[in-house]
Amino acid sequence: MAFNPFLARPDLALLHPYLQPPPFPSLPGPTGFFPRLPTEMTEMPPPVPHIQEDDGVVDDPKVELDDKQLWDQFCSCGTEMVITKSGRRIFPAFKVKLSGLDKRSKYILLMDIVPADECRYKFHNSRWMVAGKADPEMPKRMYIHPDSPANGEHWMAKGANFHKLKLTNNISDKHGFTILNSMHKYQPRLHVVRCAELINLPYSTFRTFVFKETEFIAVTAYQNEKVGTLLPHSAVELLQNDDSLYVKPKKKLPLACVDTSAPTTGRGSAALEEIKSVSVFEQRNSSSISKFTPKAVKFDENEKIG
């Protein structure tokens, strides 16, 4: 089963600014985002932890990975996720279906990505192999699903899509993206918390779900040509699910009819650049990879892209 009750709790201090710091940062407490300053207030007793009251709600959350066949295809080749300075959304998108929730109770869904092991990898002779000890990791940020908190009926009806979570290798990132090291292996985790407000997260019970097929290696450019064979399909799916990249023209045209050589400006140009960057694999392997070759249909220069 995906649910694992023995996994470590996520570092909730990284939910800043959703959770406020304690009034006395120097008092004993869990390490986290906020600094611990020296003080002479050593005789004060430690804060009494809040114990979650039993509200009588009985639930048994279950989570099913959506698009499992697509994940299995990538997993069989060795899933790779591209990370960039500006942030890159994950593909395949992490989507789940939920059941067993209490319809009226509110739940918060969170996701984090943690190291799968303590190794650094390299791609050599068409396979991944251990290249040494892992580099020090930055604290892993928690990504809260935008619909949180929502009642169980909402989650069970609509599921949850984490396609807007972004990965970066910029250690100075200020946008809340998940910071990863290139050539390291990671495991996404989903946390389901029955909780009405974000401020109560530290005192709530976490149920953590892990799907082994979502494990991946972070890269700055795709290494395995077998993964490249899935990219033409991936490019279309990526643009259809990414609001910041996919631009619908005024007259609806299929994606295959867009001419990537046609001059465009603004967001339309950014979308076409994304098609090129995702569908074109490294030049040295270009002969062995199926490419995305759209038909030539140019946009009217006088037509506005909406």
**pLDDT value at position 135?**
94
For the segment 43-61, what is each residue's pLDDT rounded down to a tens digit? 444 444 445 555 678 889 9
- In DSSP notation, the chain reads --B-TTSPPP-GGGGTTSSPPPS-TTSS----SS-----S-TTSPPPPPPPPP--------EEEETTHHHHHHHHHH--EEE-BSS-EE-SS--EEEEES--SSSEEEEEEEEEEEEEEEEEEETTEEEEEEEPPPPPPPPPEE-TT-SEEHHHHHHH-EE-TT-EEE--TT--S-PEE--TTEEEEEEEEEEE-SSGGGGGGS-EEEE--GGG-EEEESS---HHHHTTHHHHHHHHHHH-TTT----SS---GGG--TTS---HHHHHHHHHHHHHH---GGGGGGS--------PPPTTSPP-
Condensed to tens digits (0 to 9), the pLDDT of residues 25-47 reads 433 444 444 344 333 333 444 44
Which CATH superfamily is 59-219 part of? Answer: Transcription factor, T-box (2.60.40.820)
Per-residue pLDDT of the chain (306 residues; tens, 9 = 90+): 455 544 555 655 555 444 444 443 433 444 444 344 333 333 444 444 445 555 678 889 999 999 999 999 999 999 999 999 999 999 889 999 999 999 999 999 999 999 999 999 999 998 999 999 999 988 888 999 999 999 999 999 999 999 889 999 999 999 999 999 999 999 999 999 999 998 988 888 889 999 999 999 999 999 998 887 776 554 545 544 554 443 344 444 454 444 444 444 444 444 444 444 444 444 444 444 444 444 444 545 554 444
Q: Where in the chain is the domain with CATH 2.60.40.820?
A: 59-219
